[in-house]
Amino acid sequence: MHTLVKGLIAGAAGTSALNVASYLDMVIRARGASSTPGQAVERLAGLAEVDLGDGERGEHRKEALGSLLGYGTGAGAAVCYGLLASGRRPPCAVGVLGLTALAMLGSNAPLTALGATDPREWTASAWVSDVLPHLAYGITAYAAYELLRS
C-alpha cells in the first residue's frame, strides 16, 4: 500500500480519536466547543475575500469549514509522518510523540499565525484540552499506520 494511502487512513483514524477525546472532555467538564476553528475560517475567508453568508448560514459554514480544516490537518500530519518514517520503524514512543507533535503543530501554528489563538496565553486547562486529544490522535494514528505497514 502506498505511503500516501496509509497516511490518509491513519490520519482519519487519528482524527476520529481526537474528536472522541475532545467530545468526552466536553461532556466531563461541561465545556463548550472551541470557537477557534471558526475564527480561523472567518479570517481566511476575509483574506481570500470570500463571503460565507450572513447570520445563521454563515455561522454554520464557519463551523463546518473549521471541522474540515481539522480533518485536513489530521490527514496531513499522518502523511508527513509516513514520508518521514518511510523505510524505518521508529519506536512506539517516538512515533506517537512525533505524530502528536505534527498534529499539534499543524493545527496550532496556522491558528496562531492567523491571530485566532495565542498558546502563550493559554491556561493549564486549555493546554489539557489541546494536548490530550492530540495525544489520542498520535496513539491511534501510529497504531493504524503500523498496522497498515504489516
The structure's pTM equals: 0.93
Q: Could you tell me if 22 and 31 are in contact, meaning their C-beta atoms sit under 8 angstroms apart? A: no
Cβ contacts of 86 within 8 Å, gap of 6 or more: 3
Q: Which three cell numbers stand for residue 70?
A: 481539522
Q: What is the pLDDT of residues 16-75, one digit of tens each?
A: 999 999 999 999 999 998 889 999 999 999 999 999 999 999 999 999 999 999 999 999
Report the phi/psi class of residue 33: left, alpha or beta, with left for phi > 0 and alpha for psi in -120 to 50.
beta
Residue 144 confidence (pLDDT): 98
Q: Could you tell me if 69 and 41 are in contact, meaning their C-beta atoms sit under 8 angstroms apart? A: yes
Nearest CA-CA partner of 42 in 31, 30, 53, 29: 53
The CA distances from residue 59 to 14, 26, 39, 45, 113, in Å, are 26, 20, 10, 12, 22
Residue 150 confidence (pLDDT): 80
Nearest CA-CA partner of 17 in 146, 135, 145: 135
| Whether the predicted pLDDT of 1 surpasses 80 | no
Nearest CA-CA partner of 58 in 70, 35, 75, 41: 41
Q: Could you tell me if 62 and 38 are in contact, meaning their C-beta atoms sit under 8 angstroms apart? A: yes
